[in-house]
Structure 1
Amino acid sequence: MGNKIYIFDTTLRDGEQTPGVSLNIHEKLEIARQLQALGVDIIEAGFPIASKGDFEAVKAIAQNIRGPVITGLARAAKKDIDTAWEALKYAENPRIHTFIATSDIHMEHKLKMTPEEVLERARSMVGYAKSLCPNVEFSPEDGTRTRPEFLYKVLEAVIDAGADVLNIPDTVGYTTPGEYGAFIKGIKDNVPNIDKAIISVHCHNDLGLAVANSLAAIENGAQQIECAINGLGERAGNAALEEVVMAIKTRSNHFNCHTDIVTEQITRTSSLVSHLTGVQIQNNKAIVGSNAFAHESGIHQHGVLNCRETYEIMTPESVGLKKNLIVLGKHSGRHAFEQRLKELGYANLNSDKVNEAFVKFKDLADKKKSISDEDIEALVKQEVFQVPENYKIEHFQVSSGNNMVATAAVKIRYNDNSVDEASCGDGPVDATFKAIEKAVGIDVTLKDYFLKAIGSGKDALGEVTVKIEKDSKIFSAKGVSTDVVEASAKAFINAINKMHYYLYQSESSATHNNETLVRI
């Protein structure tokens, strides 16, 4: 199983610094409870001196959450540290996290302090924090751009002053995995009392390398990873907790370590944070994106259905999903389509019926971005379970507007013959129906017409139901399409096909169909 890696979650502190995000005390407490269920080791509850609201939120979390270490951030200043301790003192396991910048650029342009002053401030404030709280973490801000020799001196001094955890931040997300791994190794090799403290890392994602850098640090001796749910944080965000944790779990033999995260709670936690912060998760986001366990390509679908491991390196259940998602679209293959038919209760369809439904599905997939189960059921019921399709609509065109008479032109095929007709009507649907009647040469009475949407969105299917009357007999049929006029035309021609089958073809197989028709 290897060494344990401590997971330090900063969603409620650095994550809340995401532009546009502001959580109230109740929302922070709700997230903290979920982080507790997730099994994080440390919850960074906030920056107590930043605002009264932040102070009260950290205090409430300290009072209500048991199990994880609760920490609050403080600059290396007595007032910050006092305020942090005032909020944290109620915690079962409190930790003060204090920091000061150590890179030349920050010391000169932000702090206006000399390296000697920074060194003394870091040492003295860690000592002061330790006098209040039994657990202290220290961060040299902009650590990866700090001169290594100076950084070693600072880290040695703060360990002597009582620091239990040394966090090495890549504050601006500048480093690369190879550099960062070597940087952590340099600390282990050059800070003489490093064995008395835990090395932590806090990586930002400005170059998209936060998770990779964090994992490189683990390979070189880091024992704590600071991260945030969904990768929230300043600018491009932090290392995503879910990605770090699942990388360690999936490649445990490589990293030779483990975490105590209850990974089955990952999806729930991610969804909660997204909901409360209002930050949407991109579809292709690793682990928690809606496409993370989705397959649309026919090749991939076939492989996953036969053996999950062909295209999935972890199970959806391991992160709290019920199953993977076979997305049916224009890239899907027959195997996945047939599997979905079985799931929907159509296991007894013969091969010809499945093929027929699949052809209709592909036609629809060229028109819709995604196909819902309702779409598939409508196709099966309408396009497969029907009487012989004697009449077929080869082409239709409508013209309509508020200041013009609606007209429709259709081409109807019967056997090897086709007829073109056009007609006017009270609207595009009425005109289409009249043109179809003229083309087939049969007058019918429209008794009922009903339109409803299947699914949702602007590309939802329209399902039309029509009832026609001929010789005192009623025939009903449905038609589906993303175009309601086309759905109407399909329903009408399907009803005529039913009428033709039951009134004419069923009377005598010897009857010549051409003699039964007026026009075709």
Structure 2
Amino acid sequence: MKTQKYRPYTRIDLPDRTWPSKVIDTAPAWCSVDLRDGNQALVQPMNLEEKLELFQLLTNIGFKEIEVGFPAASQIEFDFMRMLIDGNRIPEGVVIQTLTQSKEQLIKKTFASFEGAKDAIIHLYNSTSTLQRDVVFKMERKEIVALGVAGAKLIHELAKDSDVKVRYEYSPESFTGTELDFALEICQAIMDVWEPTPENPVILNLPATVEMSTPNIYADQIEWFCRNLPSRDCALISLHGHNDRGTAVAATELALMAGADRVEGTLFGNGERTGNVDLVTLALNMFTQGVDPELDLSNINKVINVYERCTKMSVHARHPYAGELVYTAFSGSHQDAINKGMDAIIHDPQSFWEVPYLPIDPQDVGRTYESIIRINSQSGKGGVAYVMDKDFGFKLPKEMHPGFGRVVQEIADAQGDELSPDMIFHAFEKEYLFNSTGYALKAFNVLKRHLDNDEESSTAEVEAMLEVHGEEKWIEAVGNGPLDGFCQGLRDTLGLDFTLHAYHEHALTRGSSSKAVTYIEIYDQDNESWWGAGVDTDIIISSIKALLSALNRSDNKNN
């Protein structure tokens, strides 16, 4: 690795910086640039119909400012602008934004593109970075300032004669590669032309056109700029992050703490190179802190579907908040913690959302709990129990989790892939509910129940027909209840040696045809523990089935 080719980014001299102690407690003004930055980054740019569908999605989410294109750069961009205006497709309260370089013919065509709109933001930019001045434009500082000022003057003149309420925005492109004093100088020169007021501020967009440093340095740059701008109350400081270093979200958050008012970005971070800052992640980061992001992302699946259809891009499975797998745990320890956290939330629904490994409630963005825990060879007993509960209603006793977990683990190891919930349930049926190789119930009756005043001395007479290793066996016995009587009959008639150790039951379904499930643990003659399960509309029969299930599992260890 030729590290000698590179040098560290220059730090900002700001020893009394204040942003580290600030918090984000209100949403910024949002501006989507999906239809411009996002569109120009696509292998196959959107057609008019796709642009319109995405525009409608953005307005439904709640964006009030949308940069719809660079209408002077291509005919489809111009035509889309006219489609929105002539078709009266711009909702009340939404302002369209257009981009233009500081060139006379481009500015004039831009004004022609939004003629007839109620209001519009015209976004002027020219590159100011040291590198581009030296390598691309071969221009001195004063020439760069003159270029920007000339464009600002023309825009100001055309705006006076326009019926559109024009708002002004200026970007010193590649702000992060520009000397701070020069960025301030050119922005002040533009403001002198446009003469903003606190009631009608200019937007000064300070883009990390290329992300060149750690996020804290971008925050320092923004705080320095906000401090040193003479008419700070006449400007909205806007951020426009790119993700070259993979830290655009963090850089934008710190820059908001440093005093910025507005954020430009895209859904899911689509944009040139490694992308723009991701507005979905930014907004939902705020949401998880109890801050209203003022964007409606409650149906994240719809947002993903429209985005993927229009852009032909895919949202990564691990994308924050939106990815297919971001609410899914395969790890056994994670699954156990999530299972316990979800149980605590169910028992205290008025509490704050506090579930291990889930910083947001999936239901708040329109996801379900169905895929929170998925099972593969890395999973554990808690995850398996969660699937059995949430997908099928079986609330396995905690002491039963290890045994069934081992059953599923063996299947997952052999499969070498994820197990679906149905595969897990079929394993449960095979191991517990349909395991009748040794003992199968054919008939069961409670003949009499004797209820004395002392409940502990009540008795029950039972009879049962079993198939035991292929032979029918008739059992008659008396016990202090139907299950106890059946146990006594198994010992007396078949000579079985076991101890009933634990009993759990719960309703499996509701209604007139509801079923119950019973879980029973026995200790066999070798003092080994075996769990069984049974399901029936009769709770007594479900307990008899559960006992036989446990005996069958014990019997199978020798076969």
Matches of 2:398 and 2:333, distance apart in 1: 20
Match of 2:108 in 1: 82
Matches of 1:329 and 1:91, distance apart in 2: 56
Please state how far the C-alpha of 1:348 moved relative to its aligned partner. 7.1
Look up the equivalent residue of 1:17 and give its one-letter code.
Q
Which of the residues 278, 289, 292 maps onto 2:326? Answer: 292
Match of 1:283 in 2: 317
SS of equivalent residue, structure 2 residue 126: strand
Match of 1:337 in 2: 384
Match of 1:240 in 2: 278
Which of the residues 129, 141, 151 maps onto 1:115? Answer: 141
Q: What are the equivalent positions in structure 2 for 1:156-235 lying under 5 Å apart?
A: 156-162=188-194, 164-235=202-273
Which of the residues 56, 72, 81 maps onto 1:33? Answer: 56
Distance 1:361 1:61, change over 3 A: farther
Q: What are the equivalent positions in structure 2 for 1:475-514 lying under 5 Å apart?
A: 505-507=470-472
Structure 2 residues not aligned, in runs of 5+: 1-23, 160-164, 197-201, 343-353, 439-465, 475-492, 495-558
Match of 1:316 in 2: 362
| 2:50 corresponds to 1:18 | no
Look up the equivalent residue of 2:49 and give its one-letter code.
H
Match of 2:405 in 1: 358
Please state how far the C-alpha of 1:351 moved relative to its aligned partner. 7.8
Look up the equivalent residue of 2:148 and give its one-letter code.
A
Look up the equivalent residue of 1:42 and give its one-letter code.
E
Instruction: Tell me the TM-score normalised to structure 2 length.
Output: 0.66
Match of 1:261 in 2: 295
SS of equivalent residue, structure 2 residue 72: helix
Please state how far the C-alpha of 1:508 moved relative to its aligned partner. 5.5
Q: Bigger shift: 206-215 or 117-126?
A: 117-126
Q: Bigger shift: 204-213 or 257-266?
A: 257-266
Please state how far the C-alpha of 1:504 moved relative to its aligned partner. 5.8
Matches of 1:327 and 1:90, distance apart in 2: 54
Please state how far the C-alpha of 1:503 moved relative to its aligned partner. 9.8
Which of the residues 82, 86, 102 maps onto 1:59? Answer: 82
Matches of 1:5 and 1:166, distance apart in 2: 14
| 2:374 corresponds to 1:327 | yes
Matches of 2:111 and 2:307, distance apart in 1: 27
Match of 2:7 in 1: none
Identical amino acids, percent of aligned pairs: 25
| Contact 2:40-2:272 within 8 A present in 1 as well | yes
Instruction: Tell me the TM-score normalised to structure 1 length.
Output: 0.70
Match of 1:370 in 2: 418
Please state how far the C-alpha of 1:355 moved relative to its aligned partner. 6.0
Q: What are the equivalent positions in structure 2 for 1:135-150 lying under 5 Å apart?
A: 135-150=167-182
Which of the residues 99, 111, 116 maps onto 1:73? Answer: 99
Please state how far the C-alpha of 1:125 moved relative to its aligned partner. 1.3
| 2:185 corresponds to 1:153 | yes
SS of equivalent residue, structure 1 residue 195: helix
Give the aligned length.
399
Distance 1:342 1:178, change over 3 A: closer
Matches of 2:179 and 2:282, distance apart in 1: 28
Look up the equivalent residue of 1:200 and give its one-letter code.
S
* C-alpha RMSD over aligned residues: 2.8
SS of equivalent residue, structure 1 residue 206: coil
Structure 1 residues not aligned, in runs of 5+: 391-500, 512-519
Match of 1:457 in 2: none
Look up the equivalent residue of 2:322 and give its one-letter code.
V
Please state how far the C-alpha of 1:238 moved relative to its aligned partner. 0.8
| Contact 1:96-1:135 within 8 A present in 2 as well | yes
SS of equivalent residue, structure 1 residue 137: strand
Distance 1:182 1:370, change over 3 A: same
Distance 1:345 1:146, change over 3 A: closer
Look up the equivalent residue of 1:312 and give its one-letter code.
L
Match of 2:502 in 1: none
Matches of 1:32 and 1:351, distance apart in 2: 51
Q: What are the equivalent positions in structure 2 for 1:381-392 lying under 5 Å apart?
A: 381-389=429-437
Please state how far the C-alpha of 1:77 moved relative to its aligned partner. 1.3
Match of 2:349 in 1: none
Match of 1:102 in 2: 128
Matches of 1:344 and 1:20, distance apart in 2: 41
Matches of 2:230 and 2:48, distance apart in 1: 42
Matches of 1:344 and 1:294, distance apart in 2: 15
| Contact 2:176-2:207 within 8 A present in 1 as well | yes
Cα deviation 1:207-234 (Å, max 9, x = unaligned) = 1011111111101110011111111000
| Contact 2:327-2:372 within 8 A present in 1 as well | yes
Look up the equivalent residue of 1:25 and give its one-letter code.
L
Please state how far the C-alpha of 1:102 moved relative to its aligned partner. 0.6
Look up the equivalent residue of 1:343 and give its one-letter code.
K
Matches of 2:84 and 2:44, distance apart in 1: 19
Please state how far the C-alpha of 1:145 moved relative to its aligned partner. 1.0
Please state how far the C-alpha of 1:372 moved relative to its aligned partner. 1.2
Matches of 1:229 and 1:348, distance apart in 2: 40
Matches of 2:107 and 2:49, distance apart in 1: 24
| Contact 1:6-1:259 within 8 A present in 2 as well | no
Matches of 1:154 and 1:350, distance apart in 2: 70
Distance 1:8 1:503, change over 3 A: same
